[in-house]
């Protein structure tokens, strides 16, 4: 059966990808951020999954704002990199895992989640930047297949934190019931605190971010009690992306160990972080 081996939460700021694409990671502005990734990248390279389930939001590049599903899953054989207005990122197209995707769609619908299915999908920085955080030099192809999981964090009303955590738990059950011996990693993306426009543009709330980084490991249920208004008030209008971290955490077992974390301000006008967890129940001989 498939098993979840690790989970990573990471910011997906587009400028992080641009810094890598334009060879600026050693520049004084960017070097502290990328230095913070090194321990996690080394560990992930030693624990490569067969499939990454990447929870992200589209930024009105593949999904028309006239029709925004609350939750969706890509089921395609492959996904092209989206042109976000200045050409696609110079990274490989993404190979899908359609058998696992279709299994997840069926299991989630049977688990009372109404899932939109994307048979064709271009993936933007919300998905490709986390892949680059994981694997900065993919060469001709990424080292694993991908199941894209889309969450609406842009158009009100967004799903609640509690619903996202419950979705993650259902995703975990679906993955563990897939009858192939696969190692699966789950990425939760977005955040941390940031606001891109309005009177509070540039908002960064380190106190809230560090609370979130602690509780995502030890007390994720406390984070599910926060309303969407709480997230926006504390972390900014775009900081509500943090509910996607709860999908990742819900998919993992209760028996996890923090491998590494890092927190950096600023990445553009955003607080950027990474938190990496091993799922100890996935080790050989342990049943989740």
DSSP string, the chain: --EEEEEEEE---HHHHHHHHTT-TTSTTTHHHHHHHHHHHHHHHHS--SEEEEEE---SSSS-TTS--SEEEE--SEEPBPB-SS-B-SSPPEEB-HHHHHHHHHHHHHTT---EEESS--B-HHHHHHHHHH-S--TTS-SSEEEEEEE--SSSSPPPHHHHHHHHHHHHHHHHT-SS--EEEEEEE--SS---SSTTTT---HHHHHHHHHHHHH-HHHHHTS-HHHHHHHH-TTGGGGHHHHHHHHHS-S-EEEEEEEEEEEETTEEEEEEEEEEGGGSTT---
Q: Which of 12, 103, 194, 260 is catalytic?
A: 194
Q: Which of 12, 103, 125, 260 is catalytic?
A: 125
- Examine the residue annotation and report whether 194 is marked as an active-site residue of this protein: yes
Question: Would you name the residues annotated as active-site residues?
Answer: 125, 194
């Amino acid at each position: 059966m498939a098993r979840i081996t690790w989970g990573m939460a990471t910011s997906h700021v587009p400028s992080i990808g641009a810094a890598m694409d334009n060879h600026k990671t050693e520049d004084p502005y960017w070097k502290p951020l990328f230095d913070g990734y090194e321990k996690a990248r080394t560990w992930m390279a030693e624990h490569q999954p067969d499939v990454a389930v990447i929870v992200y939001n589209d930024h009105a590049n593949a999904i028309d704002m006239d029709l925004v599903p609350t939750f969706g899953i890509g089921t395609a054989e492959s996904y092209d990199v989206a042109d976000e207005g200045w050409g696609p990122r110079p990274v490989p197209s993404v190979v899908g895992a359609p058998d696992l995707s279709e299994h997840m769609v069926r299991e989630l619908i049977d688990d009372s989640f109404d899932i939109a299915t994307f048979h064709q999908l271009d993936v933007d920085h919300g998905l490709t930047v986390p892949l680059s955080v994981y694997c900065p030099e993919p060469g001709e192809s990424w080292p694993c297949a991908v199941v894209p999981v889309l969450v609406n964090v842009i158009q009100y009303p967004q799903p609640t934190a509690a619903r996202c955590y419950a979705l993650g738990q259902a995703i975990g059950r679906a993955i563990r019931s897939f009858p192939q011996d696969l190692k699966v990693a789950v990425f939760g993306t977005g955040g941390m605190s940031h606001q891109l426009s309005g009177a509070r543009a540039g908002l960064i709330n380190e106190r809230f971010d560090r609370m979130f980084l602690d509780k995502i490991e030890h007390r994720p249920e406390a984070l599910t009690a926060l309303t969407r208004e709480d997230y926006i008030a504390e972390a900014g209008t775009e900081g509500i992306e943090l509910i996607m971290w709860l999908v990742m955490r819900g998919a993992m077992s209760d028996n996890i160990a923090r491998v590494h974390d890092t927190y950096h301000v600023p990445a553009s006008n955003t607080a950027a972080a990474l938190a990496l967890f091993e799922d100890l129940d996935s080790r050989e001989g342990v049943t989740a």
